[in-house]
Amino acid sequence: MDKELFDSFVDLREDDVLKIVKEKIESGEDAFSIAETCKNALIKIGDLFSKKEYYLSELVMSGEIFREIMEILEPKLVGDEKEGNKIGKIVIGTVKGDIHDLGKNIVIGTLKGNGFEVYDLGVDVPPEKFVEKVKEVEPDILGMSCVISIGWDSLKETVEALKRADLRNKVKIILGGGGVDEEVAKFAGADAAVKDAIEGVEQCKRWVLL
Amino acid sequence: MQEVGFIMNLEPEELYKQRKERIETTINLKVPDRVPVIFSENEFAWGFANITQLEFMTDNEKMMMAYEKLFKTFQQDAAYFQPSLFDALFNVIPEPCMIKIPGKDLPEDSPFQLVESEIMTEDDYKFASRKGYFRTLVKLLPKLRPEIPDVQNIFTEQITRTVEDMRGSSSNQKRFREWGIPFWGGGGMESPFSLLCLMRSYEKFCLDMYRRRDIVKQTVEKFIPEIVRMAIGGVKASGVPRAQIGLHRESSSTFSLKIFEEIALPMIKKIVELISKENVMTILHCDGDWTPNLEYLTELPKGKCILDLDDSTDIFKAKEILGDRMCIAGNLHEPLFAFSTPQKVEEYCKKLIDIVGEGGGFVLKGEPPREAKLENIMAMVNTAKNYGVYK
């Protein structure tokens, strides 16, 4: 693993990181191993977030740097390398009645960086659309975002719809967004409610890896 | 229940004076007769009065009927919001975003919702940092309200009339006084940092912190005097010497402490300084988790601010760090009102009164959503009235 690349990514020195990646590609280094170093840096950034040394603003910046790196690396990756090793599948969306997508987009970036295959249904998603997608792609996890209280009933309705379609026991359900907590999860019949992107990803990892 | 019966015998004007004094004593860090209790009304009031959100936002009589029912039922100590109708055009001033409106883009009983997108581009910083907030807003209006033709002219022509209307809403304020209800805040505005974040969108604003932090800082500084003038304008119109500054994006939930230290903290200090010069107190409306930011706020002058917290911040820690410097208001959160029981609400309120209320300087405050249970709101109000009495 290249320490200089790893450190400049963890320090979020965007220009340095991109310069190093370009130089490495030009000198013929293996794109897959560069990508692996960058993924390790992302994991370290997640660690720093959990320790409250980094904050959401740093997560967003690291997501942007990673996106720029992958733009450079992708043409050089071959076959399976493009996909990377996927650790799990998640369907995600903001519930019916709520059109906020900010938190959801940040979580999606973090999930992808951690090896999840993510199906994003967007905002204001009705229960039947969640059910349809869960049936189609058979994910490990369904993630629902809800920022305002008007979405609480929609959370419950979606869980009920999954039960009716005999799919509830086939997925774990996680809630995020400013408008949820454990009480809301209990009301809706979900498995967990988390308060930030990293807590969400850690919960998802525990479900698929353990 | 003893005090509720006692209050019934008072004339509204006496009640008004008693409540006003209770609040003023508390925010000046002295010990009042009991802990004051308030809650944000607008999410709950319309459903409670059996009208739609749209009616509450656009029909003055229905809005006032809903407020009257609410205040006569709960008899809390102040109105959190000034009573004014919603105007989709002028709402860009505090919330410079595209908007989805109930009855038009959303069902009539939905709250209006902001659509956060990159309204201001990175190239607009130069203009914004030189010309200030208002002119930037006017420049961006065609993007903010694309559905209104000739929006810039309409906006500038109508802005004077709207300011007059705002003063005209004093007839609404008079009715609050007739019910014995003073106001918590006089004027208000969102902070320059939060406004800029909304115009750029959160994610772009995060990237700006790494790619162009200097001009972000300059723009925030440029916006400060205008924002203070707007807040003070509201204070003068209402006659209530408290200006609420919305700090929605400054906390550790959204930005690092380094960014807070470099941009948000100097801004907050400057705002408080300018508002204090007008003999007005600043209500710092703090969204998100301010726990790691609390220590910084010891740099603010004593007795000039009120810390208005939601449940993300550790309010007990806030008392420990800031209790001798500023009044603290908080922090019953939305799900508690909807899913909990009166016993649990009472238990939590008692804990707040015992710890945060010790020695005064505490206002019991909640944010009931439209799904709140009446008995849970009542439990909060009654706990302040019965248990919150200082001996």
B2 — pLDDT class (breaks 50, 70, 90): very low
All residues at 6 or more sequence positions from A179 whose CB lies less than 8 Å from its CB, including other chains: A98, A146, A147, A148, A149, A151, A152, B334
Minimal Cβ distance to B371: which of A60, A149, A196: A149
pTM: 0.92
| A29 touches B: beta carbon within 8 Å | no
pLDDT tens, position by position, B7-40: 556 899 999 999 999 999 999 999 999 999 999 9
Q: Would the pLDDT of B379 be above 50?
A: yes
**Percentage of chain B surpassing pLDDT 70?**
95
With a CB cutoff of 8 Å and minimum separation 6, the contacts of B84 are B166, B169, B172
> In this predicted structure, what is the pLDDT of residue B5?
42
Question: Which pLDDT value is given to residue B6?
Answer: 46
CB proximity list for A64: less than 8 A, separation 6 or greater: A14, B203, B207
Facing A99 at nearest CB: one of B113, B292, B335? B113
Answer whether residue B221 is part of any domain.
yes
Test B209 with A55 for CB contact under 8 angstroms: no
Please give the average per-residue pLDDT across B130-135, as a whole number: 96
What is the CB-side half-sphere exposure of residue A56 using CA atoms within 13 A?
24
- CA nearest A104 in B: which residue? B203
Predicted confidence band at A123 (pLDDT cuts at 50, 70, 90)? very high
Query: What would the mean pLDDT of A1-27 be, rounded to a whole number?
Result: 95
Output the six-digit token pair for B334: 């939305």
Q: What is the mean pLDDT of residues B52-81?
A: 95
Name the average pLDDT for chain B.
93
The nearest alpha carbon in chain A to B333 belongs to: A179
Average pLDDT over residues B172-191: 94
Alpha-carbon Rg for chain B in angstroms? 21
Number of domains, chain B: 1
Are the CB atoms for A113 and A39 separated by under 8 Å?
A: yes
- Band the pLDDT of A164: cuts 50, 70, 90: very high
Structural domains for chain A? 3-83 (1.10.1240.10), 88-209 (3.40.50.280)
Residue in this structure with the two tokens 């930005």, named with its chain if needed: B255
Residue B346 belongs to what domain range? 2-386
Cβ contact A62:A9 at 8 Å: yes
Q: What is the CATH number of the domain that holds B303?
A: 3.20.20.210
pLDDT digits (tens, 9 = 90+) for A17-68: 999 999 999 999 999 999 999 989 988 998 999 899 999 999 999 999 999 9
Residue B391 lies in a domain: no
- In degrees and rounded to multiples of 5, residue B284 shows phi and psi of -85, 105
Q: Are A118 and A90 in contact (CB under 8 A)?
A: yes
Task: Give the residue-averaged pLDDT of A107-126.
Answer: 90
Calculate what percentage of chain A has a pLDDT beyond 90.
69
Q: Is A184 on the interface with B (CB under 8 A)?
A: yes
User: Among partner residues B202, B255, B335, which is closest to A55 by beta-carbon distance?
Assistant: B255
Establish if B160 belongs to a structural domain: yes
* Candidates B206, B249, B367, partner chain A, best to mutate (most A CBs within 10 A): B206
A54 min Cα distance to partner chain B (Å):
7
Q: What does the angle CA B89 – CA B92 – CA B95 come to, to the nearest 5 degrees?
A: 140
User: pLDDT band for position B164 (50/70/90)?
Assistant: low
Q: Compute the average pLDDT of residues A185-193.
A: 96
Per-residue confidence (pLDDT) for residue A100, from 0 to 100: 86
Tell me the two tokens of residue B265: 């903290």
